[in-house]
Amino acid sequence: MSRAADIAAGLERTHKRVAEACAAAGRDRSELTIIVITKTYPATDVAILSDLGVRDIGENRDQEAAAKAAECAGLPVRWHFVGQLQTNKANSVARYASVVHSVDRPRLVRALDRAAGNEGRRLDCLVQVSLDGAPGRGGVMADGVSEIAGMIADAASLRLAGVMAVAPLEAEPGPAFAELARISGWLRKEHPEATWISAGMSADMEAAIAHGATHLRVGSAILGKRPYPG
């Protein structure tokens, strides 16, 4: 099978899973956006995805993302940065990304605001929440979400879009995503515009949909098992 046919099949399988999970959860399919995570895969795959109608592409490493976004200039896609982000990469990310899912500390808010301002752009930002407190995977603990969200909301060149989380490695995703939905609920009382819940990957999208996810970050289910760890 050609690469395009492979990707089309992966995309179709994923759309079917999402539709079934929405039906099971009593949710409208239009509430869900699939972001295709293309890390480790080439720009030619992004072009295929774009031809298939995908408009949201995600990456988790700046170096790879910056190069790929440059190669894909002219394609009608939006770039989402979903990985842990060093402050010194903020300038680069602000050039190509429309959305940063992984904002988890005050220094990063300030760096992104400055960088987006320099580019004359406005960046959508999600507060990444750590659901298990595991070090090294990014995210702020629940009791720190309000502070980061407030800083984003007050930043001239950022827009607060909502929350993001990665399910814990060693636990059922359902309860973790339920906790994220609870956090999103009280955050929206302070910031009604913060409606996004970015949760759910290839292995756990059904649980995320059951618990209110609005944005899924799906890589391997569409593009295949990665040749090396992303």
Ligand X SMILES: *Cc1c(COP(=O)(O)O)cnc(C)c1O
- Choose between 173 and 212: whose C-beta lies nearer to ligand X: 173
Q: Smallest distance from the beta carbon of 35 to ligand X, in angstroms? A: 8
- Choose between 184 and 202: whose C-beta lies nearer to ligand X: 202
- Tokens representing residue 130 in the block: 């750590």
Q: Smallest distance from the beta carbon of 192 to ligand X, in angstroms? A: 26
Residue whose token pair is 């992004």: 46
Give the C-alpha separation, 111 to 18, whole Å: 35
- Tokens representing residue 37 in the block: 């995570």
Residue nearest to ligand X (CB): 219
- Tokens representing residue 46 in the block: 């992004």
- Choose between 171 and 190: whose C-beta lies nearer to ligand X: 171
Q: How many other CB atoms are found less than 10 A from the CB of residue 43?
A: 16
Q: Smallest distance from the beta carbon of 101 to ligand X, in angstroms? A: 7
- Choose between 16 and 154: whose C-beta lies nearer to ligand X: 16
- Choose between 157 and 220: whose C-beta lies nearer to ligand X: 220
Kindly calculate the radius of gyration of the chain based on its CA atoms and give it in whole angstroms.
17
Q: Smallest distance from the beta carbon of 76 to ligand X, in angstroms? A: 22
Dihedral of the CA atoms 157, 78, 89, 215 (nearest 10)? Answer: 90
- Tokens representing residue 158 in the block: 């950022």
Give the C-alpha separation, 62 to 13, whole Å: 29
Interface positions with ligand X (CB under 6 A): 37, 39, 60, 82-83, 166, 201-203, 217-221, 230
Q: Smallest distance from the beta carbon of 219 to ligand X, in angstroms? A: 3
Q: Smallest distance from the beta carbon of 5 to ligand X, in angstroms? A: 20
- Choose between 83 and 162: whose C-beta lies nearer to ligand X: 83
Q: Smallest distance from the beta carbon of 122 to ligand X, in angstroms? A: 22
39 Cβ partners below 8 Å, 6+ apart? 58, 59, 60, 61, 64, 83, 219, 226, 230
- Choose between 90 and 208: whose C-beta lies nearer to ligand X: 208
Sign of CA dihedral 172, 187, 195, 55: negative
Sign of CA dihedral 116, 117, 119, 120: positive
